[in-house]
Amino acid sequence: MKDFVIIGNKAVNGGKISLNDLPGSAGRMDVMCRCITSALFISFGMRRDVNIWLILKGEPGPEKIVRFNGETMRSLNPDERSSGSLIQKALLVNASEIEKQSTPGVFVRYGNLEKLLDEFEKEGRPLFYLKEDGTDILEMIQTPESAALLENGVYILGDNQGVFEADEKTIENTGASKISIGPISILSSQCITLILNALDRAADAAGTAGAAPNTPNAESYEE
């Protein structure tokens, strides 16, 4: 299982968001949507072993966490408007501290980064923080021990604004390992693509690939 945690610094957490204005009034929700597509879609199928957690830190508060779960996901297409529409539905749910399913594979609750990372730590999951000065993931997959940790990793990324000081402190307090994906700073969604490609390569090299990501209803997720 791989988990991606994306910090949406301005992403709204209530009200009805406009699908025609995801970058503007929805607080750069387009960034979140692209991350969802990168994390879940492959050609003619979906990565069933991936969760993506969106930390929505924008207006009006309090913060919410929306989770897209590859295993149970339905009615999602790779375009931004499709994932935006499922986020819209999640934000209209009467949220609580307990996760509720808004549509198949999409869950919402009140919560924040600290709480979420605390849960992952209690589960003993290895945490990785995407950072320019981190260890190159393509080097890390060369070592079977590192590759095994990465395969079961929780990956924490900022959005277009990066990660602010308070959140960075929260992440560093967990002892997350810093990893990097290349020499240039790129979009969050592109980082996810590169992480998953590294993991695909590691699984292929180890002969553990092929837990067929294509499922009977995958043909509806075509690209």
Binding site for a copy of itself (CB under 8 A): 19-20, 22-23, 28, 30-31, 34, 37-38, 41-44, 77-82, 138, 159-160, 181-188, 190, 193-194, 197, 200-201, 203-204, 209, 213, 222-223
Q: Which of 44, 73, 47 is nearest to 209 (CA)?
A: 47
Find all residues with CB under 8 Å of 19, minimum gap 6, and list them.
81, 84, 85, 88
Shorter beta-carbon distance to a copy of itself: residue 173 or 208:
208
Shorter beta-carbon distance to a copy of itself: residue 39 or 113:
39
In the complex, least distance from residue 37 CB atom to a copy of itself, rounded to whole angstroms? 7
The DSSP code for 97 is S
In the complex, least distance from residue 166 CB atom to a copy of itself, rounded to whole angstroms? 21
In the complex, least distance from residue 207 CB atom to a copy of itself, rounded to whole angstroms? 11
Shorter beta-carbon distance to a copy of itself: residue 117 or 202:
202
Helices (H), the chain: 29-40, 80-91, 113-122, 137-140, 144-151, 165-173, 188-206
Q: By the 8 A CB rule, do 90 and 16 touch? A: no
